[in-house]
Chains A and B, each alone.
Chain A
Amino acid sequence: MPVATMDGRQIHVNDEGFLTDPTEWNDQLADTLAGQIGIQLTEAHWKAIRFLRDDFAVKGETPAIRRVSIAGGIPVKELFTLFPQKPAKKMAYIAGLPKPRGCV
C-alpha cells in the first residue's frame, strides 16, 4: 500500500493516488489534492465535496454523478464545469474517497 507525504504528514493512498483511509482527510488536504489536479477550490466546489463526504458517511459508497446532481442539488453541467472532463473521479479524489464503483 503506497504512502504519500502531503501537508507534512503521511497519507495512505492506492495506486491511482486515491485515499484509502477516509479518516486521514481534512479540509486542508482537500485543497492540496485539488491543487495536484489543477483545481482551485471555491464555495461551489465545496458544496459538491461536502455532499460526497456526507453521503459516503451514510451510504458507505461514493455517490455516482447522477446522485450528486439529484440528491446533492448540483446540475451535472455545473459539475463538468467545476471538475472538468472527469467530474466523478475528480470529486472523489479531492474528497478523499474511493473512486465511484462502475458496474462490475
Chain B
Amino acid sequence: MVDRLLVLGGGTAGTMIVNKLRRRLDVSRWHITVVDRDDAHHYQPGYLFLPFGGYSTEQVTKSRHAFITDGVEFVIAEVDRIDPDANTVSMIDGRVLPYDYLVIASGVSPRPDRTPGMLGSEWRRSIFDFYTLDGAQALADALAEFDGGRFVVHITDLPIKCPVAPLEFTFMADAYFRRRGIRAKVDIVYVTPLSGAFTKPVSSKRLGSMLEVRNVVVETDFLVERVDTEAKTLVSYDEREVPFDLLVTVPLNMGADFVERSGLGDEMNYVPVDKHTLLSNAHPNIFAVGDASDIPTSKAGSVAHFAVEIFCDNFVDHVQGKPMTGSFDGHANCFIESGDGRGLLIDFNYDTEPLTGKYPVPLVGPFSLLTETRANHLGKLAFRWMYWNALLPGRPIPLPSHMSMAGKHTED
C-alpha cells in the first residue's frame, strides 16, 4: 500500500515541502510528486534590484528540477482542476494524477487585467510592474530613459507579495535618481490603499518618516478604480486623480485560476485554511501552504519558510492519525532595502507588529530591527545565497520558526 502526496507548485513552499518530507516519509510507503507548469524557479526578491541594474537574470532564475531532491517525481504540466471528491487532479494535457494528500502551493500572481486601463495601450510604455521578471527587465530600460517628471509608485490592493517591496523600490528609486543627478527634476509619489506608509503603527511611523525625508509625497486611502490611459492618470473609487509620467504599479494579486475552477477558492482564489495548521477548511486531506492560502498575513517567501517548518512536523503527525500539535503563529521577517547600500529588518507575526530592537540575538544582532544599517543590507544580499543553497534544499536554518520577543523593544 503506497500513499501518494501530490504538491501543486514547485516554488518556495512546494520545493521546501517535498525536500523536507522526502527525508521524513518512508520511501517504500510514500510516493511524492510535485507539479509545476515550467522548469524555471524564480528568486522573486531579486526582481527588486533588476530595474536599477543590479542582478542578472541568471542570478534570479534557475531550473526547478535542480532543487528537487531525488526520490521526488517532478511533473511539468498545467493544472486544469482538482476533484476533491475523487482525490484526483487533472491536467490541461489530459493526464490525471491521483492523490491521498494534496498540498496546494501555487502561490499568487499579479493581475493587471483586473484594473480597467492598466493592461491597455500604456502597459510597458509608461505603466510597469516589477513583480515579474519581464516587467522588472522592461522597467530597467524605462528608468534608464526617464529624465524627469511625475514618477508614481502604486499599490492596487492588499495583500501583495512582500508588502515592503514597494517602499524599498521607492527608496531605491530616490537613490538612483540622486546618483544620476536628476532627483530635483523628479516628483516621486507613493500611492497606497493604506492610511499610512505601512500597515502597523510603529513601522508605519518609521517608514513614513523615511519617505518624508526623501521628499516623497504619500497619497493614502487610495483604492484605484481605473487607469485613464489618455490622461495618464490613476482614478480612485472616490474620484481622486493622480497623474503620472511613469507609473510603477503593483497589480491585484490573485490565486491560481485552477483553484477557482475547482471551487476551492475565496473571491481572490485563495484557499481558505486553518491559519495555524494550514489544513483546508473543506477537506481533511488538502492543505494550502505559502501564498496560495488565505492566512491573514503577508504573501512572502519568509512566511512560507516558517510555515513549512511547522507544516512538515504537523503533516507527519496528521498522516499517522495523530493530532497536529504545531501551530503556525504567522511569523515572518524581511530585510528592507533603503538605498545607498543600507537596509532595515522587520520581524513580526499574526499578533505582534514589527518593533525596534536586535535580531536574532538580543542586544547583539548582528541585525537591527527597523533601523537603517549597512549590516542589514549585507544580510539581504547574503540571503539570495541562503535561498538557493540552504532554504530550498530544506537544510536546517538556525532561526526559530516561532517569533520571539527577545531583543525587541515594546515601547518606541
List residues of chain A with CB under 8 Å of any chain B CB: 59, 61, 64-67, 70-71, 76-77, 79-80, 84-86, 89, 101-104
Contact = CB atoms under 8 A, between A and B. Distances in A.
B238 A103 contact: no
Given A102-B200, A104-B200, A104-B354, 11 more contacts: A70-B267, A76-B237, A79-B237, A85-B221, A101-B296, A101-B297, A103-B158, A103-B160, A104-B297, A104-B346, A104-B348
Contacts of A80: 223, 237-238
A76 B346 CA distance: 32
Nearest to A69: B267
Given A66-B157, A77-B225, A103 B299 contact: yes
B268 interface: yes
A76 B237 CA distance: 7
Interface of B: 157-160, 163, 194-195, 198-200, 203, 221, 223, 225, 237-238, 266-268, 272, 296-299, 332, 346, 348, 353-354
A67 to B, nearest CB: 5
15 contacts: A66-B268, A70-B267, A76-B223, A76-B225, A79-B237, A80-B237, A102-B158, A102-B163, A102-B198, A102-B200, A103-B160, A103-B163, A103-B297, A104-B199, A104-B346
B237 A104 contact: no
Contact of A64 (B158, B194, B298, B299): B158
B297 A85 contact: no
A15 to B, nearest CB: 9
Contact of A104 (B195, B266, B272, B353): B353
A92 B282 CA distance: 27
Contact of B238 (A61, A84, A101): A84
Closest 7 CB pairs between A and B?
A102-B199, A70-B267, A103-B159, A80-B237, A101-B296, A104-B199, A80-B238
A102 B354 CA distance: 13
Contacts of A86: 195, 221
A104 B203 contact: yes
A84 B353 CA distance: 28
Contacts of B160: 103
- Interface centre among A71, A80, A89, A104, by most B CB within 10 Å? A104
Contacts of A89: 195
B203 A66 contact: no
B158 A71 contact: no
B238 A102 contact: no
Nearest to B164: A104
A80 to B, nearest CB: 4
Nearest to A78: B237
Contacts of B346: 104
Given A102-B194, A103-B159, A103-B199, A61 B223 contact: no
Given A71-B267, A76-B223, A102-B199, A61 B157 contact: no
A89 B199 CA distance: 13
A103 B300 CA distance: 10
Contacts of A61: 296
Given A77-B237, A102-B163, A103-B160, A66 B267 contact: yes
A89 B223 CA distance: 13
Given A67-B267, A71-B267, A104 B163 contact: yes
Contacts of B159: 103
A75 B152 CA distance: 27
Contact of A65 (B203, B223, B348, B354): B223
A103 to B, nearest CB: 4
Contacts of B199: 102-104
Contacts of B297: 101, 103-104
Contacts of A84: 238
B146 to A, nearest CB: 29
B116 to A, nearest CB: 12
A103 B237 contact: no
Nearest to A75: B237
A104 B159 CA distance: 9
Contacts of B354: 104
Contacts of B268: 66-67
Contacts of B296: 61, 101
Contacts of B266: 67, 71
Contacts of B299: 103
A65 B238 CA distance: 14
Nearest to A61: B296
A94 to B, nearest CB: 17
B298 A103 contact: yes
- Interface centre among B158, B203, B348, B354, by most A CB within 10 Å? B158
B75 to A, nearest CB: 32
Nearest to A59: B272
